[in-house]
Amino acid sequence: MKKKNMVMPGMERPKRSRKGVAKAGKPVELSGAQDLYAFLYKACDIIRGPVSHENFKDYITPLLYFKRMSDVWDEERDRALEESGGDEEYALFPEQHRFVIPEGCHWADIRKRTENLGAAIVGAMRQIELANPNTLYGVLSIFGTANWTDKSILSDGRITDLLNHFSKRRLGNGDYSADLMGDAYEILLKKFADESKKKAGEFYTPRAVVKLLVRILDPQPGERVYDPACGSGGMLIEAIHHMHNDTLCCGSIYGQEKNVTNAAVAKMNLFLHGAADFDVIQGDTLRDPKIVSGDQLARFECVIANPPFSLDKWGAAAWSNDRYGRNLWGTPPDSCGDYAWLQHMVASMAWENGRVAVVLPQGVLFRGDAEGQIREKLVKSDLIEAVITLGERLFYGAGIAPCVLILRRRKRPERVGKMLMLDGSKIFTPQRAQNELSPADVDRLYGLYERFADEEDFTKVVTMREVEEKGCVLSPNRYVTYHKVAAKPYAEVRANYLAACDAVREAEARFAALMGMRSEECGVVSAEW
């Protein structure tokens, strides 16, 4: 029997806005990412207790992805049914689908189970990976380590509640746009960051900071973008948005991430944001860079990253003989890998129009010894276009104030031999728990960068010679001119003091006269100065 199955049993369509019901075949207009985030976070409440908050993402993330894929597959099947007049065989052809869901591995198949649900979920996700080796390998099965099969953590009953909750909404492309789905997921990541405290900074960079860096780099359609410490993929996603999701950017997004789970999350996050073609590889970038071209590092027009601050035991022993020639200016101490990351990024810049934006701790601007020697060579390379210091308490899990270095192979002619020192430490919007950069703050910082001119309290354009004269220290507060209240001449200050003393004596004399007392009894001020 031929039929159209437009809504799976037990699934509800997502909320629509007040503007009404969307027309058939068009994306449903939703109440926003916040609404979807609230729906996802309610799923966290179901597992709260047996699962600690720092592990929420290990359960919620794969289910979100699993459900999204199943609903997208259903959409493609339904579209094929409609096109073919209900031909179910036609609707199952691989050509009708972006990916394969093997028999028995659909979300609806798992919902039919009543026992050993954890094992069924893990098995289904693994089979989907095997059926799609080129696109989904390592994205779902990595979460099998989340003790899905340990019933002492999650019973079949609790997993059933979790499945039932996710089944309340359809999560297909026609229900939620890729951007909306991705934005909601990013909000969820931020929430995980808030609750995970110290672990947060490992995978979440404030979105406003990401927007600033991408805006400065200005990636264009057709250019290649690379993040060597991509975490959850936020910087790569923002680059895609900046390019207005232009189809020319397909195949130009690259990332590497050491943490296995975060690498999977990055792939998932890019998928949820609608990225059609990207390459995120798991691995230790400093010890074993994976994104290469033959026996050389691959090169990119835009290199952007917020690598781990002051990474310890990063692999200094092999750096002096690095087979990719990344030891451009020397070997940083093994106790602090900041300049290893920077040199890797410089080595990954395209020769013609390469540019770098990197977030680092402010210590890189002034620390001495080996780092000081590297910094001196960096200054003399004339690659630095701008040094930007940011305010405190902007980053999750990092109390220190960071800085941003902007490097370019090809500076504008008027900027050659010069660099902008930008003190942005006072440009932020205070919040009780965590300060933030508002859109206006981002606009202000970008405006200061783009103007590339002296502005009291904020910016100073300096020459390489001026920096060398200060020992190649790059802290903007060493160069920026700050507003000072002019000191008054001594004679003027003394005259004002004596006049004030005279006024006090006169007032006390009048008071004494009224009280019938001698002035001495009132303690009249003497002005011996």
Whether 4 has a pLDDT exceeding 60, the answer reads no
222 φψ region: left (φ > 0), alpha (ψ -120 to 50), beta (else): left
Instruction: Name the DSSP letter for residue 21.
Output: P
Kindly report, residue by residue over 350-384, the tens digit of the pLDDT: 999 999 999 999 999 999 999 999 999 999 999 99
List the chain domain ranges.
33-176, 199-478, 490-522
Nearest-angstrom CA–CA distance, 180 and 6 = 22
pTM, rounded to two decimals: 0.76
- Does 33-176 carry CATH code 3.40.50.880? no
Nearest-angstrom CA–CA distance, 326 and 348 = 9
Kindly report, residue by residue over 28-37, the tens digit of the pLDDT: 333 467 788 8
Q: Which of 149-153, 266-270, 316-320, 474-478 has the lowest mean pLDDT?
A: 266-270
| Superfamily, domain 199-478 | Vaccinia Virus protein VP39 (3.40.50.150)
- pLDDT for the residue numbered 522: 56
Q: Which residue has the tokens 């998932």?
A: 268
Strands 296-297 and 302-305 come out as unpaired
Strands 418-423 and 384-389 come out as parallel
Kindly report, residue by residue over 238-252, the tens digit of the pLDDT: 998 898 766 555 558
Pick from 463, 455, 460: nearest CA to 478:
460
Dig out the tokens for 190 from the structure: 């931020």
Whether 176 has a pLDDT exceeding 90, the answer reads no
Q: Who contacts 505 (Cβ-Cβ below 8 Å, separation ≥6)?
A: 519, 524, 525, 527
Dig out the tokens for 18 from the structure: 């007040």
- pLDDT for the residue numbered 132: 84
Q: Which of 4-8, 49-53, 312-316, 441-445 has the lowest mean pLDDT?
A: 4-8
